[in-house]
A and B are shown apart, each in its own frame.
Chain A
């Protein structure tokens, strides 16, 4: 569907994207994750054909974005960070215009605009001026514009920014539905969004690829370094000493004192099976275990860990 090979982009002396290679399969939702300024928008702008590459190649549906730009652009629906709307146009009028510049045949424009408006529930808003729409509706019109012409690839640059929680969850559901018929690239710096919607994730930081995998794999990758949180009755120092001597315990990360005799210990494990040994060690030393739980590493941790390493 989309192939990105050794993509590099310089802005003057600044390298925004460095040697990025990945591919997007058919009907897949690919999450594009990275802190602000990581090069997400630049990469998306390049794939959409807005910015040229400094080096490397991008092909969309088998068409090179540089050599065969027109054919490639026909396969793409792009919703930039700021939806490209004309405030002085009406919704329907605007969508008709979009259909026109996307090269939809005259006779099919009406049908196509109706289809997209129905899909995004904009039919009641068709006569409204875009300037008078709420943020949520503006975003919908932006998405409608990307969907016109039924492009195989949808590029959505932070589509949920500035929406209220109901709208966000609606939009996520909608994007998930889109993933059945289209390939979608979704960028975000919100991790929950990516893990809720995407099949695969690419994490980039400072223009470089940090990780590319499915969400399950990324989480599994971090499982070795699981964190156990254990609430124990007993002297903090003694408990700490006992804990650090157990096989499979890396270190005690944090101690949270609840009262004189009770504390919560965060323990970094190198081996998940150390739990039993900890339990028996506590019993042997007559410490009362009040509570014990595993902190499952979520995408957030993976993300912080991966992007943190690069710094």
Chain B
């Protein structure tokens, strides 16, 4: 399993892929950062990052599917899927190895973005509790997005289509945020409770206040595990209905 993880990581870092995506990520983060600073009213640099994180989610939608699009689609297209599935590795091991490799790349991106709070801490005050919580929520949401992106990649043999489907679904999640806030939804309490359960913004508010709730942790982790399990099932299913 480790060899597969290593191979996946190499395919990101021995090619321009991870670096170009990280550059894009940093650029987006940098723009948001500059805007924040420019719109500050007091002369003291007191920074709460979570808002910035939330704004970044929108762009995130474009980065994560690019990261995950090749994971299974490429194997299928190149005929290497046969080798993986005829190796002694189980499908679960294959999925986990690929998942962890992408998570590692994601962590690499997040780690680079630490540049901004560190920069601020030299020139002003960083609210560390909310920063840490912001990162935690960013990371957890990232896990869900990665799992989802991989799922669509496992359903496709074309990476581009996998990426586009991933983007559409993640847009859907963002839409739920705004949809949950509409008068129409709020007038139906039951519908409202379902919609807000999936609403990112609501969970994000807690993180922004520096509150790390077990409920949110369970939500993100269980959603990730559920989607990963779905990928395993999907690959197994495809072997049965293979044409």
Given A52-B239, A84-B78: A100 and B3 interface contact (C-beta under 8 Å): yes
1/0 per residue B9-24: CB within 8 Å of A?
0110011000000000
Q: With a CB–CB cut-off of 8 A, which chain B residues contact A97?
A: 3-4, 6-7
0 or 1 for each of A74-105: is its CB under 8 Å from B? (1 = yes)? 10101011111111110001001111111100
Asked if A80 and B82 make an inter-chain contact with CB atoms under 8 angstroms apart, the answer reads yes
Evaluate contact between A50 and B86: CB separation under 8 angstroms.
yes
What residues make up the interface of B, taking CB atoms closer than 8 Å to A? 2-4, 6-7, 10-11, 14-15, 78-90, 239-243
A residues less than 8 Å from B239 (CB atoms): 50-52
B4 touches A78 (CB 8 A): no
The CA of A45 and the CA of B86, in the complex, are separated in Å by 9
A48 to B87, CA, bound (A): 9
A84 lies within 8 A of B90 (CB): no
Q: How far is the CA of A194 from the CA of B226 in the complex (A)?
A: 49
Q: Is the CB of A78 within 8 A of B86?
A: yes
In this complex, the member of A45, A49, A100 whose beta carbon has the largest number of chain B beta carbons within 10 angstroms is A100
Closest to A101 in B: B87
Are B86's CB and A86's CB within 8 A?
no
B242 and A101 form a contact (CB under 8 A): no
In the complex, the answer to whether A88 meets B11 with C-beta atoms within 8 Å is yes
Tell me whether A84 and B80 are in contact (CB under 8 A).
yes
Chain A, 120-147, CB within 8 A of any chain B CB = 145
Q: Which of B7, B78, B88 contacts A102 (CB 8 A)?
A: B88
Instruction: Contacts A51-B239, A84-B81, A86-B7 known; list 7 others, CB within 8 Å.
Output: A50-B239, A52-B239, A78-B82, A85-B78, A100-B4, A101-B84, A101-B88
Residues of A within 8 A of B (CB): 11-12, 45, 48-52, 70, 73-74, 76, 78, 80-89, 93, 96-103, 145
A52 engages B82 (CB within 8 Å): no
List, in ascending order, chain B residues with CB within 8 A of A49's CB.
85-86
- The answer to whether residues A88 and B14 also contact, given A70-B90, A78-B83, A83-B79 and a CB cut-off of 8 A, is yes
The reply to whether B83 and A84 form a contact with Cβ atoms under 8 Å apart is yes
List chain A residues, Cβ under 8 A from B10: 89, 93
Pair A80/B79 contact, Cβ less than 8 Å: yes
Q: Nearest CB to that of A87 among chain B residues?
A: B78
Bound CA span A99–B85, Å: 15
Q: Please give, as numbers and ranges, the residues of chain A lying within 8 Å of B83 by CB-CB distance.
A: 78, 80, 84, 98, 101, 145
The 12 sampled A-B contact pairs (Cβ below 8 Å) are A12-B241, A52-B240, A70-B90, A81-B79, A84-B78, A85-B78, A85-B80, A86-B7, A87-B78, A88-B14, A100-B6, A101-B4
Q: Give chain A residues whose Cβ lies under 8 Å from the Cβ of B240.
A: 52
The distance in angstroms between the C-alpha atoms of A96 and B82, with both chains bound, is: 18
Min Cβ gap A176→B in Å is: 24
Partner of B88 from the list A45, A73, A82, A87 (CB cut-off 8 Å) is A73
Quick check: B3 and A101 within 8 Å, CB to CB? yes
Within the complex, the shortest CB–CB distance from B53 to chain A, in Å, comes to 33
Cross-chain contact B242 with A51 (CB below 8 angstroms)? yes
**Which residues of the other chain, B, contact A100 by a CB distance below 8 angstroms?**
2-4, 6-7
Residues of chain B within 8 A of A145, CB atoms compared: 83
When the two chains form the complex, which single residue of A12, A48, A73, A96 contacts B243, counting CB atoms closer than 8 Å?
A12
CA distance A300 to B6 in the complex (A): 48
Chain A nearest Cβ from B241, distance in angstroms: 8
Nearest Cβ on chain B to A84's Cβ, whole angstroms = 4
Residues in A with CB closer than 8 Å to B4 are 97, 100-101
Measured between beta carbons, the chain A residues less than 8 angstroms from B87 are 73, 101-102
Residues of the B chain whose Cβ atoms lie less than 8 Å from the Cβ of A96: 3
Alpha-carbon distance A86/B79, docked complex (angstroms): 9
Closest residue on chain A to residue B80 by CB atoms? A84
**Which B residue sits closest to A74, measured CB to CB?**
B88
Residues in chain A near residue B7, CB distance under 8 A: 86, 89, 97, 100
Q: How far is the CA of A98 from the CA of B10 in the complex (A)?
A: 14
- Residue of chain B at shortest CB distance from A75: B88
Residues of A within 8 A of B6 (CB): 97, 100
Q: Are the C-beta atoms of A101 and B80 separated by less than 8 Å?
A: no
Looking at the assembled complex, report how far the CB atom of A107 sits from the nearest CB atom of chain B, in whole angstroms: 14
Contact indicator A45/B82 (Cβ below 8 Å): yes
A84 touches B79 (CB 8 A): yes
Within the complex, which residue of A12, A70, A73, A84 is in contact with B82, where a contact is CB–CB below 8 Å?
A84
Complex Cα distance, B11 from A11, in Å, reads: 34
Residues on B with C-beta less than 8 A from A80 are 79, 82-83
CB distance from B19 to the nearest CB of A (A): 15
Q: A84-B82, A86-B78 are in contact. Are A70 and B88 (CB under 8 A)?
A: yes
Q: How far is the CB of A271 from chain B (nearest CB, A)?
A: 49
Separation of A234 and B82 alpha carbons in the complex (Å):
63
Closest 4 pairs between A and B when the two form their complex, measured CB to CB? A100-B3, A84-B83, A82-B79, A84-B80
